[in-house]
């Protein structure tokens, strides 16, 4: 592809002898992995973290995508990082710090350095404590280096024929819970199953924010009316998972609605 932005990304990646790509299977890391594969050939290792609060389907998607790109791929299993169990305000920092320390270790032992991640330019505008951990560890973010934001990620991914070009953004299951409140694995499983239930009914951008036994559903704004038409089935499905109260967020899906507010 002759796109100047993409060519700049290839040139940036080509400066390394080899790289390990932190690969979640989302749109950002998929574009980064595809570009790294084109620039460096077999000198690329994709590393996908498997942690207790990750969406399992995302891991399965990452496996399929890496196979399709013909890239060496390893799953890296990690336990719950210390301090995460109370879902603190700095959970993203604690998670990223533990995660990337392990990914760097795995990559180094396999002979693939540096490790790079798919953070894009728009991530700098959001509440992202994990970005501090990446800076502290010296992790490179080539999409940011090349001034590539989310819209450019989707445009370039579509031009490359990547199936992830329109994939909804995802994040760990802890982002569905209020910060500062302890959680259980059963709660995370309930959230994951609730979102899978809604996705199977055709809702593409879905979040189920959990407050005890209350589920606050966020869907794409254009699908809000459909949830109301589908209310009885949605209520039955989520009640079967243990929710007693089901609410629809009238503002629709928005990233970061559970981010801490104030100092």
Q: Is residue 263 a part of any domain in this protein?
A: no
pLDDT in tens, 66-75: 999 999 999 9
Quick one: 133 and 236 in the same domain? no
pLDDT score, position 203 = 95
pLDDT score, position 17 = 96
Q: Which residue among 114, 140, 166 closes a domain?
A: 166
* Percentage of residues in the chain having pLDDT higher than 70: 97
Q: Is residue 162 a part of any domain in this protein?
A: yes
CATH number reported for the structural domain that contains residue 11 in this entry:
3.40.50.620
Averaged pLDDT, 85-94: 88
CATH number reported for the structural domain that contains residue 196 in this entry:
3.30.70
Domain extent, residue 237, equals 173-248
pLDDT score, position 2 = 84
Averaged pLDDT, 232-257: 93
The H or E element that residue 210 is part of is strand 206-211
Q: Is residue 181 a part of any domain in this protein?
A: yes
CB 126 within 8 A of CB 92: no
**Can you read off the two tokens belonging to residue 252?**
């629709």
Q: Is residue 260 a part of any domain in this protein?
A: no
Q: Is residue 254 a part of any domain in this protein?
A: no
pLDDT-derived band of residue 115, with 50, 70 and 90 as boundaries?
Answer: very high
Q: Which residues of 119-129 are buried (b: 16+ CB within 10 A; e: fewer)?
A: bbbbbeeeebb
Q: Is residue 255 a part of any domain in this protein?
A: no
Quick one: 23 and 112 in the same domain? yes
Mean of pLDDT over the chain: 93
Number of domains in the chain: 2
Averaged pLDDT, 130-156: 94
pLDDT in tens, 45-87: 999 999 998 988 899 999 999 999 999 999 999 998 888 888 8
Quick one: 33 and 125 in the same domain? yes
pLDDT in tens, 169-193: 888 899 999 988 888 999 999 999 9
DSSP assignment of 110-128, as one string? Answer: HT--SEE----GGGGGS--
pLDDT score, position 261 = 53
Question: Is the pLDDT confidence value at 259 over 70?
Answer: no
């Amino acid at each position: 592809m002759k796109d100047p932005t993409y060519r700049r990304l290839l040139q940036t990646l080509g400066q390394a002898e080899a790289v390990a790509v932190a690969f979640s299977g989302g749109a950002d890391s998929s574009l980064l992995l595809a570009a790294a594969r084109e620039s460096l050939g077999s000198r690329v290792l994709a590393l996908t973290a498997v942690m207790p609060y990750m969406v399992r389907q995302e891991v399965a998607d990452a496996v399929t995508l890496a196979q399709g790109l013909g890239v060496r791929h390893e799953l890296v299993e990690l336990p719950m990082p210390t301090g995460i169990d109370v879902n603190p305000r700095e959970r993203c920092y604690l998670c990223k710090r533990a995660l990337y320390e392990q990914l760097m270790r795995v990559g180094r032992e396999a002979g693939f350095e540096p490790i790079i991640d798919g953070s894009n330019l728009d991530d700098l505008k959001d509440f992202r404590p994990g970005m501090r951990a990446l800076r502290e560890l010296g992790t490179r973010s080539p999409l940011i280096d090349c001034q590539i934001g989310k819209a450019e990620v989707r445009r370039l991914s579509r031009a490359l024929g990547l199936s992830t070009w329109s994939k909804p953004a995802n994040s760990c299951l802890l982002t569905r819970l209020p910060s500062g409140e302890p959680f259980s694995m059963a709660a995370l499983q309930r959230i994951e199953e609730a979102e899978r239930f809604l996705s199977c009914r055709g809702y593409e951008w879905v979040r189920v924010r959990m407050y005890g036994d209350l589920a606050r559903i966020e869907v794409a704004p254009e699908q809000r009316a459909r949830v109301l038409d589908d209310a009885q089935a949605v209520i039955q499905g989520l009640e079967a998972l243990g929710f007693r109260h089901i609410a629809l967020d009238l503002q629709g899906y928005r990233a970061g609605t559970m981010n801490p507010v104030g100092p």
